[in-house]
Amino acid sequence: MRAFGLSRCIWLSVFQAARAYVKLITFDFYAALVELRSSVIDQTFATLKGQLKSKGEAVELVREWTSHYSGLKDMNGMLHVEGPGYPLPKDPFRAVLETGLELALKEGLSEPLEVSEDTKEKLLLGWTHLAARKGTATALQDLKKKGYLLGILSNGSDDLLVPAVEETFGTGTFDFIMGSSAVGFFKPEPALYAQALQPPSRDTTTNNNQMRFSRDEILHVAGAGFDALGAKAFGFGHVIWARPEGSGESFANFLRADVLEPDAIVGDFSTLPQVVEQIQAEKKTKPMIASRSSKVLLGKRDEEEDNEDLDEEEVIFALSD
């Protein structure tokens, strides 16, 4: 099959079976919607400016902190071993952040950095002052105008996640905010994803507490590959990986990536509403290709790539800006 070449491509899997229309779109927060690392670096440098020699030291400190956070998060299940002298942490996300910070202060620089407990708390609260990823605010408002319910589905704890979401995107953007506090585990734990099936309402004046969604009615937007894989394994109807542009992360490195790949990969967040609408449109018609491995390629027409040869199982839609 021959077609116009496309740049900024988004690959979208086509399935034979028709599914329920998407009603709820959930988003990872820290990896999908915000510039986490750069924001935490700025907040850390502002808090420790009198003790750090340069912003470069803040970069090193945050690199060590987030590295410990990732490692401790992956061992989250071990934090839930009950026994004499081993009480369950009240909130695993805060526990992991606090432990990671302690280790970073000891090991992140050439010499250990001594700070007060008040300063440590200020450093933790730096995770509530985060800059939005480019294009997210407009994309979220577009999706709301189209009638979708929006939710946060994150590893974060209520005390840090809720204020961060509200400061970055306002109080009325998300209908639901779901984190790890209610379940005590991190992604890809199924219990965390299961919250989206009957999400707790943020509006106590309505009956939203009774709202229920089937897996097929939920589309999850992940920021990390393991989250995309976990959401797909849980059975959400559609999963989009909003992989930051320039990220070197490859989904092929994950176990069972061949059968649990996301339905789309989006680099430019401004294209997200267009991709969601394409997913909805596909539900109204029979798929053009019956093969599970078939793809729909969405992107911007690139005149320089005209006459590019494509596989016969690929269907291409050229979307103009």
- Read off the pLDDT of residues 254-278 as tens digits, 9 standing for 90 and up: 656 666 888 898 989 999 999 999 9
Distances (CA, A) of 112 to 10, 51, 103, 188, 206: 45, 11, 9, 34, 51
> Taking Cα atoms as reference points, which of 218, 225, 182 lies closest to residue 23?
218
CA atoms within 13 A on the CB side of 58: 21
DSSP annotation of 110? S
- d(CA 126, CA 110) in angstroms, rounded, equals 23
- Confidence at residue 255, expressed as pLDDT on a 0 to 100 scale: 59
Asked if residue 227 has pLDDT above 80, the reply is: yes
Asked if residue 168 has pLDDT above 70, the reply is: yes
**DSSP run (H or E) holding 8:** strand 6-13
Asked if residue 17 has pLDDT above 80, the reply is: no
> Taking Cα atoms as reference points, which of 306, 244, 319 lies closest to residue 276?
319
What values do phi and psi take at 61, rounded to 5?
-65, -45
Asked if residue 185 has pLDDT above 50, the reply is: yes
To the nearest 10°, report the CA torsion of 310, 263, 31, 166.
Answer: 130
Q: Token pair for residue 28?
A: 């990872």
Work out the pLDDT band at 213, boundaries 50, 70, 90.
very high
CATH 3.40.50.1000 residue window(s) in the chain: 19-34+131-285
Q: Say which residue, 172 or 289, is predicted with more confidence.
A: 172
Asked if residue 5 has pLDDT above 60, the reply is: no
Q: Say which residue, 210 or 211, is predicted with more confidence.
A: 211
The mean of the pLDDT values for the chain is 79
Distances (CA, A) of 211 to 19, 165, 226, 275: 19, 22, 28, 25
- Confidence at residue 114, expressed as pLDDT on a 0 to 100 scale: 95
- Confidence at residue 289, expressed as pLDDT on a 0 to 100 scale: 32
Return the axis-axis angle of helices 158-169 and 92-107, rounded to nearest 10°: 90
Work out the pLDDT band at 90, boundaries 50, 70, 90.
low
Asked if residue 192 has pLDDT above 90, the reply is: yes
Work out the pLDDT band at 302, boundaries 50, 70, 90.
very low
CATH architecture observed for domain 19-34+131-285: 3-Layer(aba) Sandwich (3.40)
Q: Give SS3 for 297.
A: strand
Q: Token pair for residue 124?
A: 């933790």
